[in-house]
Amino acid sequence: MLDVVCCGDLILDEPDPDRWLSGIAAPLQAAAFAIGHLEVPHTTHVEETAADIPAPGAPPAHLDALARVGIDAVTLAGNHISDCGAIGIADTIARLERLGIAHCGAGANLSVAREPAVLHRDGTRIALLSYNCVGPEQGWATEERAGCAYVRVDPESGGTIAPAASLVRPDPDSVARMADDIRTARAGAHACIVALHKGILHPPARLHPYERQLAHVPLDAGADAVIGHHAHILRGIEFYQGRPIFHGLGNGCVVTRALSADSAHPQRAAWARRRRELFGFEPDPSYPLAPFHPEAVHGMLARLVFEHGQLSAAGFVPVFVEPPGRPVGATGARASAVCAYVATISRLANLPVLQYSVEADMVRISPA
């Protein structure tokens, strides 16, 4: 048996990253492979791109905490990985490689960004691919420009993809390119996991109509599971062709002051204020390092179990985010609350009903 544990967005801006990660260390370290999504570049380079609300580069040394907590691989294709330009991407990748952390989804050009990371253990090879589905376009790689791998989803209004745009139409060419990547990666591995940075920021439960359609493509192409992130709040779970889609893992560990309305950076402060107007929520003041929707205190780590290279079980480890933003493994009533929440948001998103079975190391999920 070989198990893979996946966490959502990782932003480790604050000092002492080991402390912030310590509450979820046990399941990550116990897994054969642990995978996270690195949301921001880790660099001292101070360039800011103008394409999105720029995230600051996190300290490169904070990546070392990911290695200490057992992270084996990170996905990089997201809306902020290009925020410090090509140097920010190069600095991040150089540090990851020095630490022996595999990575995929971003690089010096599009060909590199589309390459899978391949994890090996006990004769089993698992390919990992990563795609940004939410823009900004200026952060996407080309054959001449560093950036991330992507699937274009066109906005309802047409034109370029702006922050908080309503995205509706997956572009057939980029969808076909992703499917080709998956088929190629799957041919050289026993299993394949695909990470999609997708969806609607912040409000509970909601899935854009394109999300299910797009998430089915990797499974049709041979992937064994789809892992979603970007919304900074949990999304529902479904099975398609007997394989799981985690539509959004929420925050793996996000501790940053960049999202505060009193940020010294004018663009970030303005965006924090605008988020309240756009998405209709007021962050709990006891979460200054994770000022998200109050329901974002519910979290999870996805768990995939493989036997002889075949997916044999799927589920999640319940997580609770305690003030001021530290995720911890949830037990007892808190774990039950996470399970109930996942069932509720899956139902509200009109996803097929699942069965939930509480086991010692996860909540097992399966089609009803």
* pLDDT the model gives residue 162: 63
Tell me what pLDDT residue 274 has. Answer: 73
State the CB neighbour count (10 A cutoff) for residue 29.
13
Amino acid, single-letter form, for residue 58: A
What's the average model confidence in pLDDT over 3-25?
A: 98
Return the pLDDT at 155: 87
Lowest mean pLDDT among 202-211, 255-264, 350-359: 255-264
Nearest to 68 by CA among 98, 31, 99: 99
Q: Would residue 295 be called left, alpha or beta, if left means φ above 0 and alpha means ψ between -120 and 50 degrees?
A: alpha
State yes or no: pLDDT of 126 exceeds 70. Answer: yes
Residue 198 has pLDDT above 80, yes or no: yes
**pLDDT average, residue stretch 304-324:** 97
Q: pLDDT category, 294, cuts 50, 70, 90? A: very high
Check residue 270 and give its pLDDT: 74
Mean pLDDT of the chain: 93
Average pLDDT of the residues in 137-155: 96
Residue 229: the pLDDT is 98
Digit-coded pLDDT (tens) for 300-312: 999 999 999 999 9
Q: Is the pLDDT of residue 348 over 80?
A: yes
Report yes or no: 311 and 225 within 8 Å, Cβ to Cβ. Answer: yes
Domain chopping of the chain, boundaries: 2-367
Q: Any bridge partners for residue 298, and if so which?
A: 320
What pLDDT is recorded for position 268? 66
User: Percentage of the chain surpassing pLDDT 90?
Assistant: 83
Q: What confidence category does residue 51 fall into, taking pLDDT thresholds of 50, 70 and 90?
A: low
pLDDT digits (tens, 9 = 90+) for 59-87: 999 999 999 999 999 999 999 999 999 99
* 179 confidence band (pLDDT: 50, 70, 90): very high
* Overall average pLDDT of the 155-178 stretch: 83
Judge contact between 88 and 110, C-beta under 8 A.
no
| pLDDT of the residue at 146 | 97
- Residue 164: the pLDDT is 61
Q: What percent of the chain stands above pLDDT 70?
A: 94
CATH superfamily of 2-367: Metallo-dependent phosphatases (3.60.21.10)
Q: Write out the E strands in 14-80.
A: 33-38, 73-75
pLDDT tens for each residue of 219-278: 999 999 999 999 999 999 999 999 999 999 999 999 998 876 666 677 766 767 777 777
Residue 1 clears pLDDT 80, i.e. is over it:
yes
Per-residue pLDDT band at 315 (split at 50, 70, 90): very high
Please state the pTM of the whole predicted model: 0.95
Report the C-alpha gap between 104 and 115 in whole angstroms.
6
